[in-house]
Structure 1
Amino acid sequence: MCSGIDLFNCASKRSWGMGWPLSLFYITALTHRAFSYSPSQLDEAQIALRLKRPSHESALPVPNATHSFWINTPGANPLAKEGSEGELTRDSDICIIGSGITGVSAAYHLAKHFDHRKDSSARQTKVVIVDARDFCSGATGRNGGHLTPNLFLDFEKHQLQHGSDEARRIYALENYTVAELVNLIQTEKLNDAVDFVSGGHVAVYVGEVEVKKAKSDSSAARTAGMDLNEVEWLDKDIMHETYGTPHPGFRYPGHNLWPLKLVTALYNLTVRRNPLRFSLKLHTNTPVTSMRASHNPSRRWELSTPRGSIGCSYVIHATNAYASHLLPHMHGEDGIIPTRSQIIALRADAPPADLTQVSWGSGDEYWFPRPLQDGDKHPLVLLGGGRLSVPGHEYYVSDDSTTNPFIGKLLREFLPGMFPGMYEKGREPEMEWTGIMGFTKLEAPFVGPVVDHSNYYSSLKEYDGQYIAAGYTGHGMPRAYACAEVVATMIVANITGETWTLPNWLPRHYLTTSRDAESLD
């Protein structure tokens, strides 16, 4: 058997059967065909990230991505081709690159701030969103649909790395994001429009090592003053009786929804803001191929696209895994690493009452049953994960036009093993797709002005007016909305001459200006 760093090397070079890592075969046998990962194996993913290095920055998203349930269900994406033809917006105050949850949330926050200005003589602020593909066709349109904050997982690690206050802020940001989005959904009466389900979340643990770590994180978080009153431990007997799985876990509040529909609703709310104060244009299928300083003295930047150029004074990079396409210094392990995730939509073999409305997470896997549609007897369950089972862990893969057959096989076997009798063995998924996440070595997003730490002070001038919110490490739904708010308020402060203030829920080490090169070693 392998251990420590040697386990990664061993699992990458030795294989069993159809190319599965030997260590995974061992785990699979132990867990009755349900696979999971120990904390040490999750740490090995970090080792893999450092061992594999790219030769160049990320390319643009591929044009022929796999079909996602969220995107390709008929009628799900009315804005898919919005602004892809006709006249291009040539001039704007702020250009946002990327139409996922970060980009559209940034526009929403900008609209709120400029709409609330009391100066009646303030001119209209013009914002344009551009995307290389269809509207919201990146990670947001391909993710697991969970809107659940992480309440304590990895608290001890974060506390050791950053101190107690910073560790608490990591979880505070997620709680803030989820609370704000849930409030918006309820205030705007969007529950049905975004398929919002507030059924709670269960983190299930396979193996004593996982249980010990989870309980230790929970205890440390409580000791540090975090409110975990809504977190409940469920032993094996309760879990089996309640949910039909023989493994213990923690249950706490959580939600799931249709991410693309949420972003569509946010966009529509933004467009309806006071047009005298704020205008928003959207151009899909309009990739930004390069940027340069503008020759127009009233604009800092000129963005080149196949349809022409766009002049603007501020740029928000909301491209997540593809950030290094326009910001070459952000490629590699000290930047944002494209990482491919895989998801299947699998029909359960049990009624909704047996599956309940709970969403789930276990190691690298996450899943939840969708609300029943007309004519359905059994729920459709969306399940993602499995990448830690293959050598390289899908790091530095930016192509979402294909799937990994080994991961697909494991995903097909996961739920029948986790919930005996509730899923038919051998049943094929109704859809299978991939999406590209943006991982970082610190597992923390880059938020704030664009900075090149190899030449810090010069880069502040070189990239003046450019901001970024990206690199959510597979956990964007409870982070992106708040991170987008941060860069939006920074731009507002810059425009209005006001002082930007750090929110009490924002970790300082998320800020690009606080993320010096030494902290990345």
Structure 2
Amino acid sequence: MQHLYHATALDPAIPVPSWWRDTKTDVPAYPTLEGEIDTEIAIIGGGYTGLSAAYHLARDHDIQAVVLERAYPGWGGSGRNGGFCCMGSSKMPWNKMAAKFGLEEARSFWRSQRESVGLVAEIIDREGIDVDKTGHGEVSLAHKPNLVDALREEADYMARTFGATEKFMSKEDLVAQGLNSPGLYAGVANPVGFGLNPWKYVTGLAAATARAGARIFGNAEVIHWSREGGKHVLTTQRGRVRADKVLIATAGYTPEDLHNDYGGRVLPALSSIVVTRPITEAEQKAQGWTNTTPVYDIRYLLHYFRLLPDGRMMFGGRGGLSAEPGKLRAQQDRIEADFRAYYPEWRHVEVTHRWSGLLCLAQDLVPHVGSWDDQPGVYFAMCYHGNGVAMGTWSGRAAARAMVGGVDERPNFIRRPPPRFPLAFLRPLYLRGAYVAYGIRDSLS
């Protein structure tokens, strides 16, 4: 199968050295598909989106879907992200979205994002999933003094246009709230959101999905997709699934040649994370950072970071261009250097874990949850732009409803397939050029 990144990024045999994996090791193994089975709905991908779709199909519609995961549930981005359950999922500014798609469509999308956070909380509570929930909301941060006014204006715009209850925070407010760094000058607090352990959430969601009646298969990479007698036939290493409908829910880990109409429609991008040893209470007070609320800066190549329940600091960022092991390590080293620049009092604090993963970008900068008009029975849910904990869960439910003709809350503009990138084979060069431009903008802004 074809992919834009080095083969090691797609190899399930290579361990994922994340801190999250160390916090929960008693994870059940799921069987490998053997032989041939028939099902109404097959789902490719065992992350938040695919599991949420299967969970809601079983729980709400009494349909026992089949989930095919190339490794094990949560192996991809769902098990290795920063654990930000928050609004996001689009890289298009809100004012541009309103201008392009109309104000009501933009408001519908804003409501869906707010609802997505509540949906995750609802599932966690209903299924009794312990996710190490922390913080209340999230905070966006200005990393330069000349960005403070823009941050304040954005909060005012969101309040006027969407009824958002975001609160501007001055430098003094940040210090008072335990969010002190010499490299941060103001913030906007959004009350919607929280932090969680993404591995505990995705493995808990998988268990809940299996209990609801869905069939989950691990080590079941789809290596061929064909049509036979009106059915979709998905072939894995050891078996075949015949389905009436198929949902693609593999995001940045989707092979280019999975389906004949899929190639060139998404751009996988790397994100890397480092996690420190537990930082003592005295060390936290020395830096003035004691708040566990998830935060991110507003760079084009943003950083996202938060204190974990045991005092460790998780710090992540975008910008890598190669998944080759040596180059991944260099990217992770850069993220560690950025962490130490933000927290001079923690320069002595050791980093104990570092890892990377792939997120999924669309050419038009918005998520996509829908189906192809000329490909009967083929559905997709993807492109969360690095913010898939909540939106992936919501999109899985939305896809499930679309497949059975249920309540449809999707904004119209996310129902269409992701548009193809022009000269799609040049996507790695597009990303490189974008990162160079973003780096220049971040240094000049």
Q: In structure 2, which of residues 153, 159, 163 is the aligned counterpart of residue 227 of structure 1?
A: 163
Q: In structure 2, which of residues 339, 342, 347 is the aligned counterpart of residue 424 of structure 1?
A: 347
Q: 1:282 to 1:357 in 2, by over 3 A?
A: same
Which residue of the partner structure matches residue 269 of structure 1? 208
Q: 1:370 to 1:78 in 2, by over 3 A?
A: same
Q: In structure 1, which of residues 241, 247, 260 is the aligned counterpart of residue 199 of structure 2?
A: 260
Aligned partners of 1:408, 1:322: CA distance in 2, in Å?
20
Give the secondary structure class of the aligned counterpart of 1:72. Answer: helix
Aligned partners of 1:403, 1:67: CA distance in 2, in Å?
16
Give the secondary structure class of the aligned counterpart of 1:404. Answer: helix
Q: Deviations over 1:452-477 (max 9, x none)?
A: xxxxxxxx34x211111011111111
For 1:417, the aligned partner's letter is A
Q: 1:516 to 1:195 in 2, by over 3 A?
A: closer
For 1:171, the aligned partner's letter is W
Identity of aligned residues (%): 22
Q: What displacement does 1:349 show?
A: 4.1
Aligned partners of 1:147, 1:341: CA distance in 2, in Å?
17
Which residue of the partner structure matches residue 221 of structure 2? 287
Aligned partners of 2:419, 2:47: CA distance in 1, in Å?
28
Which residue of the partner structure matches residue 360 of structure 2? 438
Which residue of the partner structure matches residue 36 of structure 1? none
Q: 1:68 to 1:156 in 2, by over 3 A?
A: farther
Q: 1:130 to 1:400 in 2, by over 3 A?
A: farther
Q: Deviations over 1:175-210 (max 9, x none)?
A: 0110111123234443xx211123332211112443
1:340–1:400 CA contact under 8 A, matched in 2: no
Which residue of the partner structure matches residue 84 of structure 1? 32
Aligned partners of 1:400, 1:89: CA distance in 2, in Å?
36
Which residue of the partner structure matches residue 268 of structure 2? 338
Q: What displacement does 1:314 show?
A: 1.2
1:345–1:432 CA contact under 8 A, matched in 2: yes
The alignment of Structure 1 onto Structure 2 pairs a total of residues equal to: 407
Which residue of the partner structure matches residue 486 of structure 1? 398
For 2:41, the aligned partner's letter is I
Which residue of the partner structure matches residue 99 of structure 1? 46
Q: 1:89 to 1:217 in 2, by over 3 A?
A: farther
Aligned partners of 1:62, 1:259: CA distance in 2, in Å?
20
Which residue of the partner structure matches residue 413 of structure 1? 337
Q: What displacement does 1:350 show?
A: 4.3
Q: What displacement does 1:157 show?
A: 2.8
Aligned partners of 1:128, 1:386: CA distance in 2, in Å?
33
Aligned partners of 2:121, 2:241: CA distance in 1, in Å?
35
Q: Does 1:218 align with 2:140?
A: no
1:341–1:434 CA contact under 8 A, matched in 2: yes
Q: In structure 1, which of residues 456, 468, 472 is the aligned counterpart of residue 380 of structure 2?
A: 468
Q: Deviations over 1:383-434 (max 9, x none)?
A: 11041xxxxx53xx5x48665344323221223322332x124x44211111
Aligned partners of 1:412, 1:95: CA distance in 2, in Å?
40
Which residue of the partner structure matches residue 139 of structure 1? 77
Q: What displacement does 1:271 show?
A: 2.6
Q: What displacement does 1:151 show?
A: 11
Aligned partners of 2:317, 2:240: CA distance in 1, in Å?
39
Q: 1:401 to 1:330 in 2, by over 3 A?
A: farther
Which residue of the partner structure matches residue 382 of structure 1? 314
TM-score (norm 2): 0.82
2:87–2:117 CA contact under 8 A, matched in 1: yes
Q: In structure 2, which of residues 167, 173, 177 is the aligned counterpart of residue 238 of structure 1?
A: 173
Q: Does 1:63 align with 2:12?
A: yes
1:202–1:250 CA contact under 8 A, matched in 2: yes
Q: 1:357 to 1:322 in 2, by over 3 A?
A: closer
Which residue of the partner structure matches residue 114 of structure 1? 61
Which residue of the partner structure matches residue 303 of structure 1? 234
Aligned partners of 2:119, 2:362: CA distance in 1, in Å?
25
- The answer for unaligned runs of 5 or more in structure 2 is 424-445
For 1:111, the aligned partner's letter is A
2:119–2:390 CA contact under 8 A, matched in 1: no
Aligned partners of 1:507, 1:68: CA distance in 2, in Å?
37
Q: Deviations over 1:12-69 (max 9, x none)?
A: xxxxxxxxxxxxxxxxxxxxxxxxxxxxxxxxxxxxxxxxxxx977889223445242
Q: 1:403 to 1:66 in 2, by over 3 A?
A: farther
Aligned partners of 2:50, 2:327: CA distance in 1, in Å?
26
- The answer for unaligned runs of 5 or more in structure 1 is 1-54, 116-124, 274-278, 373-378, 388-392, 452-459, 494-499
For 1:126, the aligned partner's letter is Q
Which residue of the partner structure matches residue 204 of structure 1? 141
1:104–1:267 CA contact under 8 A, matched in 2: yes
2:19–2:275 CA contact under 8 A, matched in 1: no
Which residue of the partner structure matches residue 414 of structure 2? 510
For 2:32, the aligned partner's letter is S
2:57–2:64 CA contact under 8 A, matched in 1: no
Moved more, 153-162 or 336-345: 153-162
Give the superposed CA RMSD: 3.0
Give the secondary structure class of the aligned counterpart of 1:444. Answer: coil
TM-score (norm 1): 0.71
Aligned partners of 1:72, 1:163: CA distance in 2, in Å?
43
For 2:364, the aligned partner's letter is L
Q: 1:429 to 1:436 in 2, by over 3 A?
A: same
Could you say which structure has the larger radius of gyration? 1
